[in-house]
């Protein structure tokens, strides 16, 4: 299967094998061309279905409904995607998002100036870069809506050296873009992640929530339930699916009242956002990327979705449509 690359023509998908497809209107594409339609799960339960954005998204809101559309994407290195030329402009044309949150940008502070006008018409750009280790981690937000305020990090020096959090304040809510630390090979950062980072980050978010509702988005580096990973029994010792990480997710988000918007909308859909090397073709993935919403704002979520056909990273973008 060719690697999909966005091209600048509206509503058209070009593949490296020379084929051309409409993004959502191509009739009877096969599961080989659309591997996300294949239900790959070693322990699937009755009623589980493969997530398919063509058939499982609600109708768009009417044009006179005030709304905000947010995309979140771990790009696994921003430079590599930008070098393809016109990619983000095409994505903006197709998806018409208001805010794009990026994780794992791998930028140094001196690089930021080269990416300040990445998408025409999106004039508000915010970047947080790792200073502890160069060309590592990093987050960014590109918006056509001016925020009220912007905050970098969570206010704790120990956790703010890797450019992992940017918070934008809007009129009705805070938007927190986060790239949560991976526990790493051999789980070398597991203790730091679950005992230090997770509770500190959750405390930061909870403090924001005392002022207005919060939406947390990004790569949270945890498949929180068995439905969120293709082979649960084989992955319990792997970073992102250990008992400690899932318990930490439950304590720090679920039990504090934050709602997994995708799982609320699709309780039995197997939809992944990350695939290891050569695993996308068989849809053997993980759901590591989330929109979490305060309980007080969850009724305003119109759509929470995955864009599995955007394949220029090992993650696919996720989206949220919020009624304002």
Tell me what the mean pLDDT of segment 173-181 comes to. 99
* Annotation says 179 is catalytic: yes
Dist. CA 34–CA 283, nearest whole Å = 9
State the Rg of the chain over Cα. 19
Question: What's the confidence (pLDDT) of residue 271?
Answer: 98
CA angle 316, 259, 41 (to 5 degrees): 50
Question: What's the confidence (pLDDT) of residue 33?
Answer: 83
User: Over the chain, what is the mean pLDDT?
Assistant: 91
Dist. CA 146–CA 169, nearest whole Å = 9
Q: Is the pLDDT of residue 171 over 60?
A: yes
Contact 298, 322 (CB under 8 A): no
Dist. CA 244–CA 224, nearest whole Å = 11
What is the per-residue pLDDT across 272-287, written as a single tens digit (0 to 9) for each? 999 999 999 999 999 9
Residue 184: CATH number of its domain? 3.60.10.10
Q: 235, exposed or middle or buried, with CB in 10 Å at 0-12, 13-18, 19+?
A: middle
The pairing of strands 214-219 and 174-179 is parallel
Which residue ranges make up the annotated binding site?
A: 74, 104, 219, 221, 314-315
* Annotation says 51 is catalytic: no
Identified catalytic residue from 198, 219, 260, 309: 219
Dist. CA 303–CA 261, nearest whole Å = 8
Identified catalytic residue from 51, 174, 179, 290: 179
Give the global pTM. 0.91
What is the per-residue pLDDT across 228-269, written as a single tens digit (0 to 9) for each? 999 999 999 999 999 999 999 999 999 999 999 999 999 999
Which residue ranges make up the annotated binding site for Mg(2+)?
A: 74, 104, 219, 221, 314-315
What is the per-residue pLDDT across 115-153, written as a single tens digit (0 to 9) for each? 998 999 999 999 999 999 999 999 999 999 999 999 999
- The pLDDT confidence band at residue 113, using thresholds 50, 70 and 90, is very high
Residue-number span of the structural domain to which 100 is assigned: 4-323
Domains in the chain, number: 1
């Amino acid at each position: 299967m060719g690697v999909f690359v966005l091209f600048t023509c509206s509503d058209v998908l070009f593949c490296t094998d020379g084929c051309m497809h409409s993004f959502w209107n191509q009739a009877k594409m096969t599961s080989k061309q659309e591997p996300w339609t294949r239900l790959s799960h070693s322990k699937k339960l009755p009623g589980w279905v493969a997530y398919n954005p063509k058939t499982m998204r609600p109708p768009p809101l009417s044009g006179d409904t005030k709304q905000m559309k947010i995309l979140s994407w771990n790009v696994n290195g921003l430079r590599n995607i930008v070098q393809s030329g016109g990619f983000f402009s095409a994505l903006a044309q197709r998806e018409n998002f208001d805010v794009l949150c990026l994780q794992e940008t791998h930028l140094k502070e001196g690089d930021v100036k080269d990416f300040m006008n990445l998408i025409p018409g999106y004039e508000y750009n915010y970047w947080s870069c790792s200073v502890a280790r160069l060309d590592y981690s990093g987050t960014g937000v590109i918006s056509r809506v001016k925020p009220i305020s912007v905050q970098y990090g969570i206010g704790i020096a120990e956790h703010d050296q890797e450019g992992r959090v940017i918070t934008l304040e809007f009129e009705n809510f805070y938007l927190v873009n986060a790239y949560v630390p991976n526990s790493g090979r051999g789980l070398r950062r597991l203790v730091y992640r679950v005992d230090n980072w997770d509770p500190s980050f959750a405390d930061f978010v909870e403090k924001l929530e005392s002022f207005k509702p919060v939406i947390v988005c990004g790569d949270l580096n945890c498949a929180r339930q068995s439905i969120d990973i293709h082979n649960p029994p084989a992955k319990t010792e792997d970073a992102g699916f250990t008992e400690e990480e899932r318990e930490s997710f439950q304590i720090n988000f679920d039990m504090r009242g934050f709602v997994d918007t995708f799982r609320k909308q699709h309780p039995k859909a197997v939809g992944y956002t990350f695939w290891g090397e050569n695993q996308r073709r068989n849809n053997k993935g993980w759901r590591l990327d989330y929109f979490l919403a305060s309980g007080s704002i969850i009724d305003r979520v119109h759509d929470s979705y995955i864009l599995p056909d955007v394949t220029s990273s090992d993650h696919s973008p996720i989206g949220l449509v919020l009624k304002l």
